[in-house]
Structure 1
Amino acid sequence: MKKLIPVTGAALALLTLGVALAQGNAFLTIGSGSTTGVYFPVATGMAKMVNDAGTGVRANARSTGGSVFNMNALATGELDMAIVQNDIAFYSYKGSGIQAFEGKANNKVRTLAVLYPEVLHVIARKDAKISSIADLKGKRVVIGDLGSGTEQTARQVLEAYGLKFEDLGQALRVSPAQGISLMQDKRADALFYTVGVGASAISQIAQTVDVSLVPVAGNQASALIKKYPFYVRYNIPAKSYKGVGATVPGVAVQATLVASSSVSDDTVYKAMKAIFANTASVKAIHPALNTSFSNASAVKGVPAPLHPGAVKFWKEQGLNVK
C-alpha cells in the first residue's frame, strides 16, 4: 500500500504553478494584505475572475503585510501584481518619500487601475478619552503592521498634529487581527488602519468594544493634503459601524492595482479583460468597489505609468490613455 504524503499550502501553490506552466499558461501572484482587510477579498475575487475567464492566464491571491511589502516584493519578482496605496506605489517608483525606498527607485512599477478610496480609520476605545489625534500622545496605539501602508499613513497624520511615534506611550506594530485583540483586551487605546469603509476588522472591534472614530479635519487635514497630495478629504458616513452615529471627517488615499513591467503585455491585457470588462462584476467583488469604481476613475491619479497591456485594454473601453 502506497503511503500518501500530505500536501502543504506552499507545496500546493508550487504544484499549481507547475501545472500552469506545463500547460503553457501564464501564472500571476497577486499581493494583497491582511485577511481581515479589503485588499485580500478584492485580490481573491480578481484572481477568480482571471481563472474563470479561461484565457490561459492563471492567478492566485496572497495575503501579505501590506503596501510597502508588496512594492518590495514586486521589485524582487516575488509578486507579479499587487493592490497597494497609490502614495506608496509612487514613493517606490520614485525611490524617495519613505525610508524603505530611498535610493531604490523601482522603474518597473506599472499601474493597471485605481480601485477605491482607502480611508484612514483612527478608532479609539471610549474609555481612553481620545477625541482628537493630539490626544494620542502618551497612549498605546496600534500603528499598523511593519511594512504596511497604514504605518506610513499613521506617521504622516501624527506629523500633521505635531507628534511622532516616539510621543506615543507605545507604538504597536502588529497586524490588524492582533490589533483587534489588543483593543478588546484593553492593551491598546487606539488603532490606525487605512482601509476601505466597511472593513471586517473595524466592524469586529465596533461590535465588541465601545469605540469612537477620531476625526482628521481642519487645519491639520489641510496641511497634510498640501504636503502629501495623494490624500483627499473623505467623510466616513454615519452608521458605517456600530456606535458611529454621525459623519466623521477624515482623509483617504486610493487603493490601486499595480504590476511589474516584467509581466508581458499580453498577460496583463488578458487579466485586465477578465477583471474589468464588466463593471458590474467589478463592483460585485466588494462594497468598497461598489460605491466608487468606474472606468473613468480607474485611470485618474495613477501613481506610475500605465502598463502597455492596461493601455490597450482601457483604449478599447473608450478612454484616452497612453
Structure 2
Amino acid sequence: MKHRKRLLTAAVLGTAALAAAQGTTFLTIGSGATTGVYFPVATGMAKLITDANTGVRANARSTGGSVFNMTALGTGELDAAVTQNDVAYYAYRGTGLQAFQGKANSKIRSMAVLYPEVLHVVARKDARINSIADLKGKRVVIGDLGSGTEQTARQVLEAYGLTFDDLGQALRVSPAQGITLMQDKRADALFYTVGVGASAISQIAQTVDIKMVPVAGNQAAALIKKYPFYVRYNVPARSYKGVGATVPSVAVQATLVTTSDVSTDAVYRAMRAAFGNEEALKALHPTLAQNFSYAKAVKGLPAPLHPGAVRFFREKGVNVR
C-alpha cells in the first residue's frame, strides 16, 4: 500500500518537486523524435548532469516535439525541455499557436540557446519540385500534429501564398513515419525543422534520390520580417547524399528551457554539469560542435533567463542580466 501511495504521489507531483523532497533534484528533460537532434542532445546533457554527482539527476524523454514539450512544462510533466525558440516564445506570451492562445505561461525560463534549427524541405527528385510554390497539389509531410515543424511549414507556405489546403495531402506524421512515406513514394516532400546532419534526413537521402528545396529571396525576407525569430541559414553543400550545392533556407534556434518552479541552485548545478565543460558538450553532437558558444547561448532567448543560468553565465564572463 505504501509503495502504491508513493507511485500516486509521483504521478501528482512534478518529478523535480518529488525528488527534491527526497533530497535529490530529478529533472525530466523533454526532447523530440529519436530520429532528430533533440533526443541525442538531451540524452547527452542528462548524462552529463547525472554523472557530475552534484545532487541533480536527469533523464531525457522522447516526445512529440516543441509544442508538446511546452505544454508539458506547464503541467509539470516535464521539468526542462529542448524546444524551438519560436514555440517557447508563443508559450511564454500565450499567443501564436492555438495550444497556447490566451494561456501564457509566465513561469517559463530560458537556460541556453543550443544551435540553429534549419528548415529542411526535402523533395523526391521524381516529384519535380524545384520551389516551395511547386508544393501545391503535392503530398507533403508537415510534421507531427502540434509540432514546431508544423508551425514552421505553415508560416513558410504562407510566405509563398499557400496554405495547407493548397497541398494535395498535408501529412501530419512523425519524422520516422515521414521517412517511410518518402521511401514508399507515398509522400512527395517533407518539412523538418532540425539541426543539420539529422539522421532522419540522412536516412532519406541514403535511400531516395532527393532535392533540397530552397527558401530564399523576397519570400524569405517577408517571412523574417513578419516572424523575427527566423534567421537566414545556408545548408552547406554535401551535408547529405545528393546535395551537391549550398541550399539557402531559414532557421529558428533550439533552446533549453525550464520553469521558475525549479530552484536557482538546481538549475545552476545542472548548467555547470551540462555546459561547464564546453568541449564535452560539443562532443554530444556535430551540430553543437559547429554552432555552440557561451556568447551565442544568450542570444535570441524566448523568455527571461532562469536565475540559475544567469549565475552560471556570469561565472563564464558572459554579460547577462
Give me the TM-score of the superposition, normalised by structure 1: 0.94
Percent identity (aligned): 78
Matches within 5 A, 1:76-87: 76-87=75-86
**Aligned counterparts of 2:176 and 2:61: Cα–Cα separation in 1:** 16
**Aligned counterparts of 2:136 and 2:286: Cα–Cα separation in 1:** 34
Which residue number corresponds to residue 142 of structure 1? 141
* 3-state SS of paired residue (1:253): strand
**Aligned counterparts of 1:302 and 1:137: Cα–Cα separation in 2:** 34
Which residue number corresponds to residue 59 of structure 1? 58
**Aligned counterparts of 1:250 and 1:227: Cα–Cα separation in 2:** 16
Which residue number corresponds to residue 106 of structure 1? 105
Shift of 1:319: 1.3
1:194-246 CA-to-partner distances (Å, cap 9, x unmatched) read 00000000000000001100000000000000000000000000000000000
Stretches of 4+ aligned residues off by more than 4 angstroms: 17-23
1:209 maps to 2:202: no
Which residue number corresponds to residue 184 of structure 1? 183
Matches within 5 A, 1:1-322: 24-322=23-321
Q: 1:23 to 1:76 in 2, by over 3 A?
A: closer
* 3-state SS of paired residue (2:83): strand
Q: Would you say the 8 A contact 1:91–1:97 is kept in 2?
A: yes
Shift of 1:253: 0.4
Which residue number corresponds to residue 3 of structure 1? none
Q: Would you say the 8 A contact 1:20–1:58 is kept in 2?
A: no
Give me the TM-score of the superposition, normalised by structure 2: 0.94
Tell me which amino acid in the other structure corresponds to 1:179: G
Please report the RMSD computed on the Cα atoms of aligned residues, expressed in angstroms: 1.7
Alignment gaps of 5+ in structure 2: 1-6
**Aligned counterparts of 1:64 and 1:260: Cα–Cα separation in 2:** 18
Shift of 1:23: 5.5
Alignment gaps of 5+ in structure 1: 1-9
**Aligned counterparts of 1:69 and 1:157: Cα–Cα separation in 2:** 21
* 3-state SS of paired residue (1:243): coil
Shift of 1:168: 0.3
Q: Which moved more, 1:164-173 or 1:95-104?
A: 95-104
Tell me which amino acid in the other structure corresponds to 1:108: K
* 3-state SS of paired residue (1:256): strand
**Aligned counterparts of 1:258 and 1:38: Cα–Cα separation in 2:** 16
